[in-house]
Structure 1
Amino acid sequence: MARAVAELRSWPALAVSDTRRGLTFAVRGTEILRLTGHDEVQVRLTAPAIDRLQPYLRECDQVQACQDRAWVAVHVDATPDLELLLALASVAIKEHVA
């Protein structure tokens, strides 16, 4: 997870905050990433983006739906999971700056 945090901190579109609940990343004042555990990150993709990606997300064991339909949880256990997280973070940024 340290590698993910280091990579995300370097992205100029993201602002990082250290809250009581852990690290969060925001774009234009909207929280889009939450570190919720030592191997889990929640990503705010938006409901329309999740609907578009659903055929792919459904097949991915590392991604789980959250109660809030705009968010998914990503379990990061290995390098491919990190790459998935970074790709989803990129989608989240795009969804919130358009």
Structure 2
Amino acid sequence: MAGITAWRRTPQRRGPYVARALAELRSWPALAVSDTRRGVAFAVRGGAEILRTAGGDEVRVRLSAPAVERLEPYLAGCGQVQACPDPAWVAVQVDAEPDLELLLALTSVAIKENVA
């Protein structure tokens, strides 16, 4: 009889800056946090999901398509921010202190753009 292999899902490792961002964002009163099978997600209270972990040091932020368009000239030169297939979302690589500050600033924009 062949042995059975059990697969156990291991949590994705996050870098220290993503962990710091998540800890900070958990204290923001405008945000509701949920721990999902895919990672941690934040939503505007009573509204849409605006932030989710994407594995490793990547965090995805839902700004809105018009906000991404407005910010595109500034974000285009930033190697830490990439467009996502959904034009309302951007992916932020958070592996240094300035990236953490950028993520928090973009989250603030996302809250303003997605308040019901």
Per the TM superposition, whether the score is higher than 0.5 is yes
1:16 aligns to 2:38 (yes or no): no
User: For 1:2 and 1:69, how far apart are their aligned partners in 2?
Assistant: 26
Q: Distance in 1 between matches of 2:104 and 2:76?
A: 18
Give the aligned partner of residue 2 of structure 1.
19
Letter matched to residue 19 of structure 1: T
Aligned to 1:37: 55
Q: Indicate the structure with greater strand content.
A: 1
Instruction: Report the equivalent of 2:98.
Output: 80
d(CA) in 1 for partners of 2:19 and 2:106?
A: 17
**In the alignment, does 2:75 pair up with 1:66?**
no
Report the TM-score, using the length of structure 2 for normalisation. Answer: 0.82
Q: What amino acid sits opposite 2:69 in the alignment?
A: D
Runs of at least 4 residues of structure 1 off by over 2 A?
none
The answer to which structure has the higher helix fraction is 1
The SS at the match of 2:92 is: strand
SS in structure 1 at match of 2:28: coil
Query: How far off its partner does 1:29 sit?
Result: 2.8
Does 2:114 align with 1:96?
yes
Q: CA deviation at 1:97?
A: 1.5
The amino acid across from 2:34 in the alignment is S
Sequence identity, in percent?
Answer: 77
Aligned residue pairs: how many?
98
Which structure: larger Rg?
2
Give structure 1 stretches of 5+ with no counterpart. Answer: none
